Amino acid sequence: MKLSWKKYSFDVSERTYVMGILNVTPDSFSDGGLYLDRSAAVERALRMVEDGADMIDVGGESTRPGSDPVPLSEELKRTIPVIEALAKKVTIPISIDTYKAEVARRALEAGASIVNDISGLRFDSEMARVVARHDVPVVVMHMKGTPKDMQADPRYEALIPEILDSLRGSIEIARHSGIREDRIIIDPGIGFGKTYGHNVSIIRHLREFTLLEKPVLVGVSRKAFIGHILGGAPPHERLEGTAAAVALSILNGANIIRVHDVKEMVKVAKAADAIRKGTVP
């Protein structure tokens, strides 16, 4: 299974790819405020490239549980200058983490080449057309509700089948809008409208998502369910738990992992890939 677009080519059947998280926000759950300054954000991205990131995901709106939407003008102000600066300095793909079509359009014009949409193309009716027009990959994620209310009381009659059905719907939106089949990546949405138990179950049953025949992206990095498992550990003390969740996700079928701690998780992915394939040097 390959992702090939513009000057990039990722063979996700050969190894796991690492997406580094760059939050240019004041309030993200783990690193809010650390990279709000453009120079700090660019420096952080360059460090992630040095550490082995295969792509950088730039986000200008926190989608932590209970968060409020950010105005379009503010999201553009946070993300576009960073993407413009990065596009001149890095050779790996830059992703824009947004559900707003105008932010995606401006980011793609500024040098981004992937769109990561937590709404699965559902919040903004123009998003799919923007992606199709630029002929870039899109990550369609599952989320129950909105960031503001998604963790209020998430319930499912059948967790995995319901998420699969929702992702099929997002894939159909993409197809209908002209997005190529080999440009679609799916994300089951760990932590987005799920209980701690739901998140664990998704990882345990991740293999079922490969039935959709799309690359699978998983974002478990430093998330609350890991802190819960570790007895209330805060985000900066969840490295080992994240490593365990990443390794098990890879063994169960993840093709792309979205992480904060790039250097460490590149090593985890390399080890997990070797074990999964039985190709230890």
Q: What is the CATH number of the domain that holds 148?
A: 3.20.20.20
Question: How far is the C-alpha of 138 from the C-alpha of 81, rounded, in Å?
Answer: 21
* Spatial separation of the C-alpha atoms in residues 93 and 82, rounded to whole Å: 14
Average pLDDT over residues 134-148: 94
Distance CA(170)–CA(89), nearest Å, equals 33
CA distance 245 to 223: 10
Q: How far is CA 8 from the centre of its chain?
A: 18
CB-based contact 140:117 (threshold 8 Å)? yes
pLDDT at 67: 79
Beta bridge partners of 20: 56, 259
Check residues 152 and 267 and name the one with the higher pLDDT. Answer: 267
Q: How many domains does the chain have?
A: 1
Q: Which residue has the higher pLDDT, 62 or 246?
A: 246
pTM: 0.95
Residue-level pLDDT at 28: 56
Domain-embedded: residue 281: no
What band does 151 get if pLDDT is binned at 50, 70 and 90? confident
- Residues labelled as active-site residues: 223, 258
Q: What is the structure's pLDDT at 33? A: 53
Of the candidates 210, 201, 212, the one whose C-alpha atom is nearest the C-alpha of residue 160 is 201
Q: Are 193 and 153 in contact (CB under 8 A)?
A: no
pLDDT digits (tens, 9 = 90+) for 174-225: 999 999 999 999 999 999 999 999 999 999 999 999 999 999 999 999 999 9
| Residue 279: inside a domain | no
Confidence of residue 5 (pLDDT cuts 50, 70, 90): very high
pLDDT above 70 (res 27): no
Q: Which of 266, 273, 256, 262 is nearest to 214 (CA)?
A: 256
Q: Does any domain span residue 7?
A: yes
Look at residue 142 and tell me whether its pLDDT is greater than 80.
yes
Does the residue 280 lie in any domain? no
Is there a contact between 42 and 86 (Cβ–Cβ < 8 Å)?
yes
For residues 201 and 27, the model is more confident at 201
pLDDT, mean of residues 101-128:
98
Mean pLDDT of the chain: 94
In a domain, 58, yes or no: yes
Map tokens 């550490």 to a residue.
51
Q: Is residue 92 a part of any domain in this protein?
A: yes
Domain that holds residue 203: 2-273
Chain Cα centroid distance, residue 19: 7
Amino acid code (one letter) for 255: N
**Six-digit token string for 64:** 């932590």
User: Is residue 280 scored above 90 in pLDDT?
Assistant: no
For residue 278, is it within any domain?
A: no
pLDDT tens per residue, range 43-83 = 999 999 999 999 999 999 988 787 788 999 999 999 999 99
Higher per-residue pLDDT: 151 or 20: 20
Residue 8: DSSP 8-state = E
Residue 120 counted as domain residue:
yes
Which ranges in 37-195 belong to alpha helices (H)?
38-50, 72-87, 101-110, 127-134, 159-176
Q: Which position has the token pair 């630029």?
A: 134
Q: How far does Cα 112 stand from its chain's mean position?
A: 14
Over residues 146-162, the mean pLDDT reads 91
**pLDDT tens readout for residues 229-240:** 999 999 999 999
Confidence of residue 36 (pLDDT cuts 50, 70, 90): low
Does 30 score more than 70 pLDDT?
no
The pLDDT value given to residue 279:
79
Least confident piece of the model among 27-31, 55-59, 92-96: 27-31
